[in-house]
Structure 1
Amino acid sequence: MAHKSGDFSNSVSNSEASNFAAMMKKLISGRKLIVASNRGALNFSEDSSGKLVARRDTSRSSELFEPLSDEPISWITGAVSAADRNAADTQADDLGIIRNDVLPDDWNVRFVSLPRRVHHKFYNVICNPLLWFLLHRSWSPTFTPNIGKQEHDAWERGYRVVNQSFADRISDSADGSQIALICRDYQLMLVPGMVRKRHPDSLIHFSFETP
């Protein structure tokens, strides 16, 4: 598979990337590196004919991993679009790894693809209108959420379900190895604890990507 390098000139400096890579290689020595995020290194769209087109994510948070392009990385990421869900159904091998020709050879991606009603509760009831505003300190007298039965249901049947599905995928990807898990952002706040219960010796780093 082709390896297309990212452009650090506008987002991540070479020194920042090098320092990150050196730190990561030291920390993950002897461990299997897994990165979990709602949006990951790979996404799909459809061209005018309806054919799936794989694209490598070029956001700053993904470009930080560019210096690790020669290291094996297992990405666990959400199927956030209809095209992603289509790819999860049609482009995955027997292990759930999504076939593509845009990521480094040693990187693999597994999608977490759930029913749309579950994703709606997860994203449109909990993540977007509640957690995003909380973490960006954007609540005000003109926007004060009413947390009621709908939100409690969405937490249990949406947010927790999605996070448990990510934790399950991570455990499957670990395949008995000691792991170093990088878990990213507010969509997956429950994942580290869920993974820790199954893999108590894991090295786990969680970060918020909010101001």
Structure 2
Amino acid sequence: MVATAPNREGRAASDDESRLVLVSNRGPIEHYFDEAGEIRTRTAGGGVAVAPAAASRTRHVSWIAGACSPAGRSIAQSFKTMPWGSDGSLRLVSVPGAAAQPYYNSFCNPILWFVQHSLGGELRSRGLDREVRESWLSGYVAVNRLFADAVISEIDRYRTDGTETPSGGAQDDGSDEQACHRESPANGLAEAPAAGH
């Protein structure tokens, strides 16, 4: 998932040679409220956290991820970035409920997933033109603008701090079956199931 360019000696660049900004739907940490209402963290499940965690041992990684729980959204509204790993940072992007439904449930999961798995032909017979256009504009484009703004802000932070501009990373498109936002009758969103729980 993370493409790191080797340096001249053929090894991965160290953090003083390069910095990496990684953008994904889910991040390396899940945030949740405990019984007392305090925000707690646990390592996120799934493979998306493994490769960047390894990359963070050799370079600074700024990870920008969706806030996937009520606790995560609370953090996203309170902090620009937080420490992550040995020398990295994590920035959470809060996706408004009005954009989350068309992004995750109308575009990424039922449409983009098929396209990325070479099953786009399955969609042609479903007559989705109007649904695709609406979910593209109100969900996918809107959410990706939020992530793009966070990336620009992170790059500006590097420039302001006097450090070099970070290199780019891969973006998770949000089409994972375990996408962080799930529909809930109460508010349209619910916390993702805990990893391993």
Q: What pairs with 1:94-133 in structure 2 (closer than 5 Å)?
A: 96-98=80-82, 103-133=84-114
Sort the Cα spacing of 1:179 and 1:147 in 2 relative to 1 into closer, same or farther, 3 A.
same
Which deviates the most, 164-173 or 62-71?
62-71
| Equivalent residue, structure 1, for 2:191 | none
User: How far off its partner does 1:88 sit?
Assistant: 1.4
Q: Deviations over 1:35-59 (max 9, x none)?
A: 1111111221222333221122243
User: How far off its partner does 1:109 sit?
Assistant: 0.6
Mapped partners of 1:118, 1:28: distance in 2? 35
Out of 51, 58, 77, the position equivalent to 1:89 is 77
Q: Identity over aligned residues, as a percent? A: 26
Sort the Cα spacing of 1:23 and 1:58 in 2 relative to 1 into closer, same or farther, 3 A.
farther
Q: What pairs with 1:150-169 in structure 2 (closer than 5 Å)?
A: 150-169=131-150
SS at match of 2:152: helix
SS at match of 1:186: coil
Mapped partners of 1:119, 1:157: distance in 2? 9
Out of 134, 154, 161, the position equivalent to 2:115 is 134
Q: Deviations over 1:39-98 (max 9, x none)?
A: 1112212223332211222433321233334431100111122232122124x1xxx013
Q: What do you get for the CA RMSD once the two structures are aligned?
A: 3.2
If the length of structure 2 is used for normalisation, what is the TM-score? 0.68
Sort the Cα spacing of 1:83 and 1:167 in 2 relative to 1 into closer, same or farther, 3 A.
same
If the length of structure 1 is used for normalisation, what is the TM-score? 0.64
Equivalent residues of 1:34, 1:74 under 8 A apart: yes
| Equivalent residue, structure 2, for 1:78 | 66
Structure 1 unpaired stretches of 5+: 1-19, 189-211
Query: Relative CO higher for 1 or 2, CA cutoff 8 Å, sep ≥ 6?
Result: 2
Out of 184, 188, 196, the position equivalent to 2:171 is 184
